Structure 1
Amino acid sequence: MSESTLIILVGTVLGIVCRVLLLKTDYRQYPTYPHGKIIHLALGVIASGLGSVLVATLLDKNYTAVTFLTLAASQFRDVRNMERQTLSNVDSMELVQRGPTYIEGIAMAFEGRNYLVTATAFLTGIATHFLHWYGGVLIGGLCILIATKYMSGRTVGDICVVRKGKVHFDGPNLFVDDILIYNTGLEDTKKKILKHGVGLILEPDNANGTVTFSNLGQRQAILHDVATILGVYRDSGEPSLVPLSKRDLDSGKLALFLLPLDQDADKAMAIVRRVPVLENAYRRPLKADVKPDRQL
């Protein structure tokens, strides 16, 4: 077997392994099985092939092969657009929607994982050239370990404390602890809310969490994940039974009003803690280098 063939073979195989390990269908049932997975596995084969072939062509001093990277970037942008369009179309049929911020984060993740696959195949190919096939497998395994470990970011539990809140009415006004959610004068709606409602309070650890929870997309992502796992007590055409979130403007606390089918508050808290902090929603004002103006 020639060296170029070995580089392409080892790099492609490790790249495909990387994509398989990064491709998981979880409680969101996305990507769908089997067709959604077939699409992304096929794109993973293309991505790993581009990365390994690039090494072989560069070693043959065929520097025009760098144009492969342009092809890869174009292909992966199409992946992001495809995911965005698909999820946006499906989202309109959800009782508790994901929201555009969550959708954009998912689409970004699918694009980024293809770049990780290409990088894994590329580095594996280089290691195979210098360290033979076992060296390539070792470096490829290390790349896969890094990709799987650091691909997931922060979760809501990392930036706040989640605790139970009391759902109650004061006249027509619905509260979770002391935070006003909305008002309703319908007695039948009140009875349903008191019977099925669950309240949670999210207390940010610092200003970063406070500003992050001011993003409506992050709050909608939390409501969607809880409704996906625990179900939601509502149907279409019932605007009074919609899970909502409201923020206390003075303290920065976030109140969640939920209507889950499974009314286990402990489960709801565990789910909220595991909701990802969206890249497009996370803010770090504490990192800003803001200094007061000097006195003249």
Structure 2
Amino acid sequence: MLNNNMIAVILGVIIGFLNRLLMLKTDYRQYPTHTHGRIIHLSLGFIAAGLGAVAVPSLLKENYTAITFLGLAAQQFRDVRNMERQTLTTLDSLELVPRGVTYIEGIAMVFEGRNYLVIFTSFFVSLISILMDWKWGILAGIITLFVSKKYMSGSSIKELAEVVEGKVIVNGPHLYVDDIYIMNIGLKDNQDRILEHGVGIILKPKDQNSIVTIANLGQRQAILHNLATIMGVYRDSGEPALVPLAKRDLNDGRLGVFFLPQIKDIQKAIEVVKQTPVLENAVRLPSESEVNE
């Protein structure tokens, strides 16, 4: 017959692992990969759930070595973050349109943070199950699943800026999106291909914070990478004239995005930009400064 502590540990492990399973999502970015990448992250999630669940009965028995194990787990998860960063940085060099350092750091941070959410979930469920009853533990687990779901998703570009179509203009050797200068295109062949396949998008920031955030080079690169991943890209290596670019208007902070998709669909491109996540490391809040207040 299982005692109360064992029931609490099992319940904590199950709900903690279920939490990691719900947070594991392979989407258009294909990371983690469908099979081996998922196995790695689910295994780490199971270990995290076990550590969080076992820590409660250990602490209640005044066995404080459990804190040491949690500290070691934190170190291991930091190593996981470093591993993800190194792997993605290596893969990024082979992309036609790279993610960029800021995007990679954000992905690595997310994978580390989700393991901590699993530890918190299993710890909380195990604690409630021991102090009250296993039924209350299940209720606590359901609540933590909703909390984790909330922290799983962040804000997107549509919350920071109005995204509209921009006209691609070739004036002599100069390329513009509306009135925002993009780059110099010398060859007539490249100019013709740009006019045929090019798409222009304008991001109009909604406030002072948005102006600084979308100006971040890492955030701009994330927008370009998402466009290339979802819509394809009309270019190959060694063709600098066809590289997608995002340049800003220095006067009002608008961002002009020039891109050559494999399939030219401006409405889909606008929607992709709107859904691009706002990178945590790109966010700036100058309005919170005492000087601006």
Deviations 1:233-266 (CA, angstroms, capped at 9, x unpaired): 0011111110000000001000000100111111
Aligned amino acid, residue 281 of structure 2: N
Aligned amino acid, residue 128 of structure 1: S
Bigger mean CA offset, 282-291 vs 153-162 = 282-291
Matched, 1:240 2:241: yes
Change (3 A) 1:9 1:159: same
Distance 1:249 1:230 in 2: 29
Deviations 1:202-239 (CA, angstroms, capped at 9, x unpaired): 00000101101221000000000010000000011111
Distance 2:152 2:20 in 1: 12
Matched, 1:65 2:66: yes
Aligned amino acid, residue 287 of structure 2: L
- Contact 2:286 / 2:292 at 8 angstroms: preserved in 1? no
Deviations 1:90-135 (CA, angstroms, capped at 9, x unpaired): 0000000000000000000000000000000000001101221111
1:103 counterpart residue number: 104
Distance 1:130 1:268 in 2: 53
Matched, 1:289 2:290: yes
1:176 counterpart residue number: 177
Distance 1:69 1:7 in 2: 18
**Within 5 A, what are the aligned runs for 1:232-271?**
232-271=233-272
**Within 5 A, what are the aligned runs for 1:83-94?**
83-94=84-95
Aligned amino acid, residue 193 of structure 1: I
Aligned amino acid, residue 161 of structure 2: C
Q: How many residues matched? A: 292
Q: TM-score, normalised by structure 1?
A: 0.97
- Give the secondary structure class of the aligned counterpart of 1:62: coil
- Give the secondary structure class of the aligned counterpart of 1:280: helix
1:185 counterpart residue number: 186
- Contact 2:160 / 2:206 at 8 angstroms: preserved in 1? yes
Bigger mean CA offset, 40-49 vs 122-131 = 122-131
State the shift of 1:4 in Å.
1.9
> Root-mean-square deviation (CA), in Å?
1.0
1:49 counterpart residue number: 50
Matched, 1:80 2:65: no
State the shift of 1:21 in Å.
0.4
- Contact 2:128 / 2:136 at 8 angstroms: preserved in 1? yes
Aligned amino acid, residue 264 of structure 2: Q
Aligned amino acid, residue 105 of structure 1: G
Which runs of at least 4 in structure 1 moved beyond 6 Å after TM superposition? none
Change (3 A) 1:291 1:246: closer
Q: TM-score, normalised by structure 2?
A: 0.98
1:134 counterpart residue number: 135
State the shift of 1:291 in Å.
6.1
Matched, 1:148 2:149: yes
Distance 1:237 1:272 in 2: 26
Unaligned runs of 5+ in 1: none
Distance 1:44 1:150 in 2: 17
Deviations 1:165-200 (CA, angstroms, capped at 9, x unpaired): 000111110000000000112000001000100000
Aligned amino acid, residue 88 of structure 1: T
2:216 counterpart residue number: 215
Bigger mean CA offset, 256-265 vs 146-155 = 146-155
Unaligned runs of 5+ in 2: none
Distance 1:48 1:190 in 2: 56
Change (3 A) 1:279 1:291: closer
